[in-house]
Chains A and B, each alone.
Chain A
Amino acid sequence: GNSVTQMEGPVTLSEEAFLTINCTYTATGYPSLFWYVQYPGEGLQLLLKATKADDKGSNKGFEATYRKETTSFHLEKGSVQVSDSAVYFCALSDRTGNQFYFGTGTSLTVIP
């Protein structure tokens, strides 16, 4: 079946630190991969996506590369800011297009 596993939080970093949030997936076929971000009190927003192997999604300084060989889609940012404090969800969509599979979310807190 399809599933997403992401690193447990919470993660606390100082401002300007490097961020990595690990995400691995299990899927039949060739899924599309996503990172969503949920700021406090808000809904989920699409942060970035990749639809095929070796694609790199990027947005707002965040990047993730679709690695088929390691079934991974790790989220990275070179220098985090306090405003990046949020919960980050890794997700995949299978080729039927009917359903997303979300990871459990990783809470990030960035301190000044």
Chain B
Amino acid sequence: DTGVSQNPRHKITKRGQNVTFRCDPISEHNRLYWYRQTLGQGPEFLTYFQNEAQLEKSRLLSDRFSAERPKGSFSTLEIQRTEQGDSAMYLCASTRQGNSTNEKLFFGSGTQLSVL
């Protein structure tokens, strides 16, 4: 499968613990996004990377959340001191920088986080 890869697929943690998720985008894609999806809702934008630079961060993202893309390839999303409200599906998506500002966005299968 040469699509966007995310791991783990599922993560169960206790409130107050830290968790880290990983995303491997499609290899030639330099643009990477993190979204969060709760049950019955559409994906909600969290943050955006162009190569290794984090260019956009949602105001909804608390300071407990941090994302990195150190070499412009894979990305990690860390949540510190998890809360039950953090329970959601965390989706990664990638696209290439083409001739248009808007290129097709491809999603990974997500990491389902459950905070007990």
Q: Do A and B come from one complex?
A: no
